Chains A and B, each alone.
Chain A
Amino acid sequence: MKRWPRRMLAILVVVALGPAVIAWAEYADVTINTRSEAEGVAPVIYPHWFHRIRFQCSVCHVDLDIKMGAGTTGITMEKLIDGQYCGACHNGNIAWSIDNCDLCHSGRPGLETGVKGGHETMGPGLY
């Protein structure tokens, strides 16, 4: 009986501090490394949370024709410079221009293309 409070305390500490030390991506972060590392730059991290604060879903997924599926749109830097996809905003006009390589190409080496989930799901089965 006397020993339980100490054990409970230990369990509480683990429960309380566990989430703080486990690294996880923000829900719906997209990583794209279909070409990046092969071309000598870091993988791309696209944060959905940042963009959905500022734009509705259909701006990118309908108007700009970005497909729902990591790495399936066929985005290349040439197309972005042409003003397609990310380049429609990232042109120094609506958002910072695409010569700020590091701001997108900020991933750790070896990241795989995909949608990263939060604490409850790793995204749909296909991606």
Chain B
Amino acid sequence: MSPIRAISLVIVLTVFASAVLGAGNWQPLKNDGLHDPENPAIEILQEPGEALGVLVPDSAGNKVDWVRSLQEGLIEPRPSLDGDEEPNIRDTTVLMKNTYPLFYVRFTHKPHTQWMSCEACHDRIFVPQVDANPINMGKILEGEYCGLCHGAVSFPLTECNRCHNTNPATLGREEAATGEGTQ
């Protein structure tokens, strides 16, 4: 076997192995490098695998698709301490076009408002006006704007195409198709 073939085989196998092992590999608390294994709480605290293993699997972050887990009703996080408050769900999207050479960013309000109230972002992080926020990847990587959550608790910044999700070349066609109801 030539070295190039061997290397490609290793890469393929590595990708395959990480895909197979991706979900369900949550560390027990006593092995996570944070908890003190001598602490009596280790026996009482819930293990990540027990809680996360029943949710919709994903390839990044907690290995859980939190949005789908909520939308499919597997979890029902309370919108307020007493759980009485009605969430204010918005269905609008915001298209950000200044993203060359990557795809446009189509921000969807729906999953965000299913997870938090308007005040979490507006106005303290984002001015509620299109093109009024000087967002760029440098700031996001520094933990500003989207990076305040994405990369810390929501899906990480390695998942480029989850935000850069709209191909400029087909944007017009998609909108036309959707508009005519043929899609």
Instruction: Tell whether, in the assembled complex, residue A49 and residue B81 are in contact, meaning their CB atoms are under 8 Å apart.
Output: no
Is A19 close to B, CB under 8 A?
Answer: yes
Residues of B near any A CB (own CB < 8 A): 1, 6, 9-10, 13-14, 17-18, 21, 25-27, 31-36, 39-42, 44-46, 48, 51-52, 60-64, 66, 75, 77-81, 87, 115-117, 119-120, 140-143, 147-149, 151-153, 156-158
A selection of 20 A-B contacts at a CB cut-off of 8 Å is A4-B1, A15-B17, A19-B21, A24-B27, A25-B27, A27-B61, A27-B62, A42-B36, A47-B48, A54-B78, A57-B115, A58-B116, A62-B117, A64-B81, A89-B81, A111-B34, A115-B152, A118-B61, A121-B151, A124-B140
B residues near A88, Cβ cutoff 8 Å:
81
A27 to B42, CA, bound (A): 18
Instruction: Tell whether, in the assembled complex, residue A55 and residue B44 are in contact, meaning their CB atoms are under 8 Å apart.
Output: no
A residues near B152, Cβ cutoff 8 Å:
28, 68, 115, 117, 123-124, 127
A residues near B35, Cβ cutoff 8 Å:
45, 106-108
A residues near B51, Cβ cutoff 8 Å:
49-50, 53
Give min CB distance, B116 to chain A, whole Å: 4
Closest A residue to B61 using CB positions = A27
